[in-house]
């Protein structure tokens, strides 16, 4: 059977770092409160002239280098973002042109913090059905532009960044020891639209708006839904949680991540954590964490990697990948 194998990853973080102590100077908060409730100590913030497409391009170029391919080999580019450069065209179109990819197709997907899982799912389906051979999947965000920097309940939680993965369609025997994407699962429940949203938008207000969130509601749904969808991917692949080598969760906050790790009965050392230094970078958080664990030698060929994420909507999903 055809499977999508991840053949290279790359990431990019803006240079500017904003620590909790920096935030204390402008918002009524404390390092102790932020660390205790979220595990976050700092976040990266894009420069004024740095757009989501710039972050995406840098991550994509690094992923192509790691994969050892040129832009002419890509025939699909799926970019997950909820902070696009413009209302249209897709930010993917700009990245496609700047990469020098002049054929195939490129488009954005909007699944907020579940964006990378959604983009991976779309690309996996294109590759498995034979509609594309080599795909670039990107999660890129500039949340600093949609934060209300006077709202301490949200502005401390997020950061900017981008991550990317190159996938290649390859023939495999079709069993759980295959390399590549073994299973993906996605859900959404639009009844929770107002639990986490941006209070602007072209059609509703002709403004960009600011992120608003009912934190406790998000927390409650995140833990239940993520544990369930992680189990679904494992079941679909005929594997169990004790076979997972690395849990690479969406880095929303350490308490949600730890709750999932415990529900899966995994040792703490098997969870990749970057939220402390990156904060929540929405669709970029999983590929940013993947790159860190690949580059420091934790994720190795043959390892079983489980990713999961939830975002506004709510929309949530998981992906199980044999490295
Ligand atoms: N600094 C200091 N105090 C604060 C801050 C802050 N940054 N933010 C809120 N507080 C105060 C509140 O005003 C409140 O004060 P009060 O008791 O005097 O009214 C008190 O702290 C407790 O507030 P709660 O909202 O009850 O705090 P809670 O324990 O629920 O923690 C948090 C808030 C961290 C947001 C939590 O609800 C949570 O983790 N939710 C999940 C949300 C999340 O991760 N969202 C990310 C986006 S969604 C995603 O990616 C999955």
pLDDT tens sequence across 220-232: 999 999 999 999 9
Entry pTM: 0.97
pLDDT number for residue 36: 97
CA angle at 98 for the pair 115 and 293, rounded to the nearest 5°: 45
pLDDT at residue 128, as a whole number: 97
List of the chain residues with pLDDT < 50: none
Domains 2-171 and 180-322 equal at CATH topology level: yes
Distances in Å between the alpha carbon of 314 and those of 268, 271, 275?
Answer: 27, 24, 21
Q: Taking the mean position of all CA atoms in its chain, how far away is CA 168?
A: 19
How many A from CA of 37 to the centre of ligand 1?
7
Specify whether the CB–CB gap between 167 and 137 falls below 8 A.
Answer: yes
180-322 carries CATH number 3.40.47.10? yes
For residue 136, what is the DSSP state?
E
Cα separation, 321 vs 323, whole angstroms: 6
3-class SS at 12? Answer: strand
Pocket-testing residue among 30, 195, 253, ligand 1, by greatest number of atoms within 8 A of Cβ: 253
**Cβ-contact 323, 6 below 8 angstroms:** yes
Q: How many other CB atoms are found less than 10 A from the CB of residue 190?
A: 8
**Domain map of the chain by residue range?**
2-171, 180-322
105: helix, strand or coil: strand
Active site annotation includes 118:
no
Q: Is the CB of 221 under 6 A from ligand 1?
A: no
- pLDDT value at position 229? 98
What are the C-alpha distances in Å from 116 to residues 41, 207, 243, 250, 288? 24, 25, 23, 9, 11
Report the C-alpha gap between 75 and 86 in whole angstroms: 23
Sign of the alpha-carbon dihedral angle for 123, 124, 128, 129: negative
| Ligand 1 atom with the shortest distance to the CA of 252 | 50
159, 255, 279, 281, 297 from 276: Cα distances, Å:
11, 12, 6, 11, 20
Q: Is 157 in the pocket of ligand 1 (CB under 6 A)?
A: yes
Residue 300 DSSP class: -
Q: Which fold has domain 2-171?
A: Peroxisomal Thiolase; Chain A, domain 1 (3.40.47)
Cα separation, 50 vs 14, in Å, equals 8
196 lines ligand 1 (CB under 6 A): yes
Distances (CA, A) of 280 to 19, 39, 299: 14, 11, 22
Span 281-323, pLDDT tens digits: 999 999 999 999 999 999 999 999 999 999 999 999 999 999 9
* pLDDT number for residue 158: 98
């Amino acid at each position: 059977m055809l499977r999508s194998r991840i053949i290279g990853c790359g990431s990019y973080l803006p240079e500017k770092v904003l620590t909790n102590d920096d935030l204390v100077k402008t918002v009524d908060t404390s390092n102790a409160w932020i660390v205790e409730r979220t595990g976050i100590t700092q976040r990266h913030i894009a420069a004024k002239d740095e757009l989501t497409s710039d972050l995406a391009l840098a991550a994509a170029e690094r992923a192509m280098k790691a994969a050892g391919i040129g832009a002419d080999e890509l025939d699909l580019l799926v970019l997950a973002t909820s902070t696009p450069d413009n209302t249209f065209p897709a930010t993917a179109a700009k990245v496609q042109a700047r990469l020098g990819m002049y054929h195939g197709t490129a488009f954005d997907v909007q699944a907020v913090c579940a964006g990378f899982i959604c983009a991976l799912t779309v690309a996996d389906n294109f590759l498995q059905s034979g509609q594309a051979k080599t795909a670039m999947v990107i999660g890129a965000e500039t949340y600093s532009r949609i934060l209300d920097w006077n709202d301490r309940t949200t502005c401390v939680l997020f950061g900017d960044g981008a991550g990317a993965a190159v996938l290649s369609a390859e023939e495999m025997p079709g069993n759980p020891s295959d390399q590549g994407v073994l299973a993906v699962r996605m859900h959404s429940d639009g009844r929770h639209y107002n639990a986490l949203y941006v209070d602007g938008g072209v059609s509703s207000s002709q403004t960009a708006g600011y992120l608003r969130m009912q934190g406790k509601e998000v927390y409650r749904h995140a833990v239940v839904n993520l544990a369930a969808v992680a189990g679904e991917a494992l079941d679909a692949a005929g594997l169990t949680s004790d076979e997972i080598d690395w849990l690479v969760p969406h880095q929303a906050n350490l308490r949600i991540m730890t709750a999932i790790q415990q529900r899966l009965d995994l040792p703490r050392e098997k969870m990749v954590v970057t939220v402390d230094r990156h904060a929540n970078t929405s669709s970029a958080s999983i590929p940013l964490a993947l790159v860190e664990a690949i580059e420091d030698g934790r994720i190795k060929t043959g390892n079983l990697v489980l990713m999961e994420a939830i975002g506004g909507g709510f929309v949530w999903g998981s992906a199980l990948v044999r490295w």
